[in-house]
Chains A and B, each alone.
Chain A
Amino acid sequence: MNLKEWIFTTDHKRVGILYLIGSIAAFGVAGIMALLMRAELSAIGPTVTADPTTYNVWLYAHGAIMILGFQIPALTGFFANYCIPLMIGAKDVAFPRVNALSVWLFYVGVILALLTFFIPDPPDVLWTGYPPYSTITAGNTALYSFTVLILGFASIIGGVNFLTTVAFMRAPGLTWGKLNIFVWCILGAFVMQLIFVPVLGSAVTLISFDKYLGTHFFDPAMGGDVLTYQNLFWFYSHPAVYVIFLPFIGVVFEIIATFARNPVFNYKAAVYGGIGGIVLISGEVWIHHLYVSGMPDWLRIGQMVSTLLISVPVGLLVISLVGTLYKGAISFETPMLYALGVVFLFLIGGLTGIPLAITALTVNLSETYYVVGHFHYVMAVAGTFAIFGGVYYWFPKMSGRMYNELWGKIGFWITFVGVNIVFWTMMDIGARIGLPRRYYDYAQFPEAAGAQHLMTVGAVILGVGFVIALLNWIIGAARGPKAGDNPWGSPSLEWSTVSPPPHGNWPSPPSVGEDWSPYAHGRR
């Protein structure tokens, strides 16, 4: 009876939790892929598998599932679903049944992605799927295309839903200037999803047409062009980085404001300058993924400038984050540790991105471990830390119970040490010896062996930390002490209802006064 209720639910909170369960499962699978790859690379020559194709399938699965199956659904599926109606004082989203459709599609997409491990000739085209290789490989490119299309479609209908919800279902008195930063971040992310996902959809559709239906969009022998695909792909996939970045920094804003008991520093600068600026520039920087791909020189130089200018909105957001600490009353529960961890990791990741914005430096750095280290810091690890911190933060609201604080902190520190061992080492060997990424073996770089071994050890450490966090949630949800409705003392609306909130969220719709703000911590 219970399972059926969950599957056919239209309650935004249950849809959100379904998104969370699915995306954490995807995270586990993709994480195991990462550990398998690290084990393979721990020494020169074949170690875990003697077949490079097996390694390439792990590489594909790790990238595609982490991005499309874990980070985007966890941030724009789980957090948006669970928090947005509660934050704006709505009973539910605007189109609850469309919402249920989107989570079903998400599960179809995840199941498609997991089929990778059960079919003969699984896709080995990386998460980028560049032709000509993707159109001539024995691997199943169609599975890749359909996975991307289904997950993209789930995200688009989610986007329509949330833009409508925030526009029309805010509580009386809750003006645009009083929205939580997280709500603005989700709006920005979904505006980008609506603009850019169709471009990715067309790109992956065209490679399947080329491979299975005999078209020649990317075949130069018949008048096509291989570079067109890379342009289409990154025209979506760079904004996708901000689709991940904005919601995760929004989560961090909520946590830091609550645990510093302060309003967000320079709110309007963060919203209009930071979030607005990123949405505005996001579509003009994709060439920095193609700096050494044979694009015209003038385009490479032009987008070097636009890429460097991303530092302005990102800098404004970081200043707002750090400024929120000023004259605060900061306490360090687990969610805050993760949030401050994100600030630190994002600082390293963001700054190490500056060399990668400079066209002339990428002729050495691009496609090396330096790039892998950089984007794991800035997006993968920072994003995952924000997701874990956010789950800890809203855990008492979702379950009505409290997780174990001590084990939460232990898990955080283990993970934090692990990620820095892995990804700092990665940037170091990438910049110092130019070790290329996506390598099954690295016999031509014997000097990398020690660093590779160290990273494998680090990967095991960070894996242990994540497992501790997952166990902490499961045990906390089942047996934790009752948490109360507002354990952190936040004035934000989601904490004003009971934990866990009932269907419909409030007995009667809330309204807010003139001097209310989600960050007005017991003052004025």
Chain B
Amino acid sequence: MREFKKTAGALLALAAAGPALAEKTIPTATRVVDPAAGWDHLWREVLIDITVIGIIFALVTAYLIWKYRRRPGNEQGNAPRLSAAAAVGWVLIPTFVFMADDFYLAANGWQLWNTFREVPADRLEVRLESGMYSWDYTYPNGVQTQNELKVPAGKPVLLRMTSRDTLHSHYIPDFRVKEDSMPGRVTYLWFYPQQPGTHVVTCTEYCGVMHSYMAGHVVVLPPAEYQAWYEAEGAKVEKAAAPAETVTKTPA
């Protein structure tokens, strides 16, 4: 019954925009697994899978083409009539093999999908508002940056994303992750930066004329350096906010 309610609720959320606006609870991961490493692993596995299938099919086809080419003494096709049992076998056996491979890949894919969607509890949470044509990040202490996301090494980063105009998609190729942002909904993605360095962020949902120029960076800093930057910037925000409060109080 609870399952049914969950499904019905999700269907309702699909139908109406209102409920989608409310932020869904994000599932929590019990341990920290790097989704990018998981992606590389599954990608390699699937590449081997499809390469083997492809080579088998290509070799069989090439052999048949060569072996049964038309030549003197082989002017007419001579395919044997399939018996009913053979016809059924040629359906059931391939179906079974394909489905076995499908479900194997689906199981692995589902597991990795959970890694991408379940976010570790110990994390840095940043809000992202995308717009034509910039990425605007807001940190928990109110610090705002544009087109540059500074994060500490060794801590999972969760982005809660929305858009103020058209569709955008926040893609970080080095961390193998993207998700669309759009007006009226809040979506999320997370990644796990482990070494200091700079990584390209780029837009992968056609958003307008300057789509291909909507790029920025993720800058991964050593934790101490990040903390120093974060606190210094946070202090600036507090200073800027203090007089603003007195101003708003005066007319009331």
User: A and B: partners?
Assistant: yes
Binding site for B on A (CB under 8 A): 52-53, 56, 124, 126, 128, 130, 132-133, 136-137, 220-221, 223-227, 260-263, 265-266, 268-269, 273, 292-301, 304-305, 308-309, 311-312, 315-316, 318-319, 322-332, 340, 343-344, 347-348, 351-352, 354-355, 357-361, 363-364, 366-368, 431, 433-434, 436-445, 521-523
A304 close to B178 (CB less than 8 A): no
- Complex CA distance for A293 and B117, rounded to whole angstroms: 14
- Complex CA distance for A266 and B166, rounded to whole angstroms: 50
Number of interface residues of B (CB under 8 A): 89
B1-34 vs A, Cβ < 8 Å mask (1 yes, 0 no): 0000001001001101110110000000000000
Residues of A within 8 A of B124 (CB): none
- Complex CA distance for A328 and B46, rounded to whole angstroms: 34
A361 close to B46 (CB less than 8 A): yes
A355 close to B169 (CB less than 8 A): no
| Residues A326 and B79 in contact in the complex (CB < 8 Å), given A312-B95, A316-B94 | yes
With A329-B75, A355-B46, A367-B205 given, name 6 new contacts (CB 8 A).
A224-B17, A266-B90, A305-B102, A348-B54, A351-B53, A358-B46
- Tell me whether B218 is interfacial, beta carbon within 8 Å: no
Residues of A within 8 A of B43 (CB): 355, 361, 364, 431
Q: Select from chain B the residue with minimum beta-carbon distance to A519.
A: B77
| Residues A355 and B69 in contact in the complex (CB < 8 Å), given A328-B77, A439-B212 | no
B57 close to A265 (CB less than 8 A): no
- Complex CA distance for A295 and B212, rounded to whole angstroms: 25
Residues of A within 8 A of B181 (CB): 294
B70 close to A331 (CB less than 8 A): yes
- Pairs across A and B, CB under 8 Å, 13 listed: A52-B212, A136-B165, A221-B183, A223-B18, A225-B184, A260-B77, A273-B91, A292-B180, A298-B7, A329-B75, A329-B77, A344-B58, A367-B178
A354 close to B91 (CB less than 8 A): no
A327 close to B78 (CB less than 8 A): yes
Within 8 A of A (CB), among B96-141: 98-99, 101-103, 105-106, 108-110, 112-113, 115-117
A351 close to B204 (CB less than 8 A): no
A330 close to B70 (CB less than 8 A): yes
Residues of B within 8 A of A358 (CB): 42, 46, 105-106, 108-109
- Tell me whether B68 is interfacial, beta carbon within 8 Å: yes
- Tell me whether B74 is interfacial, beta carbon within 8 Å: yes
- Complex CA distance for A363 and B17, rounded to whole angstroms: 24
Residues of B within 8 A of A319 (CB): 90, 94
- Complex CA distance for A300 and B179, rounded to whole angstroms: 13
Shortest CB-to-CB span from A522 to chain B, Å, is 6
8 Å CB contact of A359 from B90, B99, B109, B183: B109
B77 close to A364 (CB less than 8 A): no
- Complex CA distance for A124 and B206, rounded to whole angstroms: 10
Residues of A within 8 A of B79 (CB): 262-263, 265, 324, 326-328
- Complex CA distance for A168 and B68, rounded to whole angstroms: 39
8 Å CB contact of A351 from B7, B54, B70: B54
- Complex CA distance for A319 and B167, rounded to whole angstroms: 42
B211 close to A440 (CB less than 8 A): yes
Residues of B within 8 A of A220 (CB): 17, 21, 182-185
Q: Select from chain A the residue with minimum beta-carbon distance to B24.
A: A296
B74 close to A434 (CB less than 8 A): no
- Complex CA distance for A329 and B75, rounded to whole angstroms: 6
Shortest CB-to-CB span from A2 to chain B, Å, is 41
| Residues A444 and B202 in contact in the complex (CB < 8 Å), given A304-B106, A316-B95, A344-B58 | yes
- Tell me whether B76 is interfacial, beta carbon within 8 Å: yes
- Tell me whether B187 is interfacial, beta carbon within 8 Å: yes
8 Å CB contact of B61 from A263, A322, A441, A443: A322
8 Å CB contact of A354 from B105, B115, B202: B105
Q: Select from chain B the residue with minimum beta-carbon distance to A128.
A: B206
Shortest CB-to-CB span from B164 to chain A, Å, is 10
| Residues A261 and B113 in contact in the complex (CB < 8 Å), given A315-B94, A367-B205 | no
